[in-house]
Amino acid sequence: MFEFLKGKADSVRGIIKKGNTKNKLDKKILRKNNISLLILDERWNSLFKNIERTPEIIEKEEKLKELLKLQSRLMVETKEISANKKDRMDRIIQLTPEVFDKNNEEAKKEMVCCEKEIKHINVRLPAIEEELENIPDRIKEANLELLEATVNVVYYKIRFNQKRIKELEALIEEAKVRLKAYIDEKETLAEDDTGIYSYFHDLLGAEELEKLDKEFFG
């Protein structure tokens, strides 16, 4: 289940910096790499089939999800207010004859509302565009933070597993030795029994041997 990290173990170790309590990844190197979005990566999600997500991982995961949701909302808002701006501008064009040729007060009020809305959009749209421009870096940074938290949890698990594997290998070797001893003992006993049985068969005959079998073995 550790193929996601084991396959790149050497490269990951090369970018880990030792901290006081946790390993820190060298983000300068990682930023140059094409790190996929972890929460969309099946291999990343499969890491937690047998490993519990820590509070830190849950926090980093939620942070990344919220940034992706924010990006999606901003993109939708950009599309909506851009369309709304076009509608308001078209409406102003439609109202122009009523306002300037007929001096229609209701048309004037509606035009003022359209102009106010366009001004609001003209303020909001650059703000959204700026945020959308910055959000990919924020997503990348949050993704790296999640990767760092994941590495600390999963590598501790791998280290524990490797220790247990060595223990099991020793137990397996011990069991092999014991099994061989049991097999040798079994074969020796079987050979002894066969030799004894053959000897008494020749010495006493089949009929007497059958009586002994019934007496001792039922």
Q: What is the residue extent of each domain of the chain?
A: 3-172, 175-214
Q: Which long-range contacts (CB under 8 A, 24 or more apart) does 60-66 make?
A: 60/142, 60/145, 60/146, 60/149, 61/146, 63/142, 63/145, 63/146, 64/37, 64/38, 64/39, 64/139, 64/142, 64/143, 64/146, 65/39
Contact between 62 and 167 under an 8 Å Cβ cutoff? The reply is: no
Q: Please give the model's pTM, rounded to 2 decimal places.
A: 0.67
Average pLDDT score over the chain = 88
The pLDDT of residue 3 is above 50: no
pLDDT digits (tens, 9 = 90+) for 109-123: 999 999 999 999 999
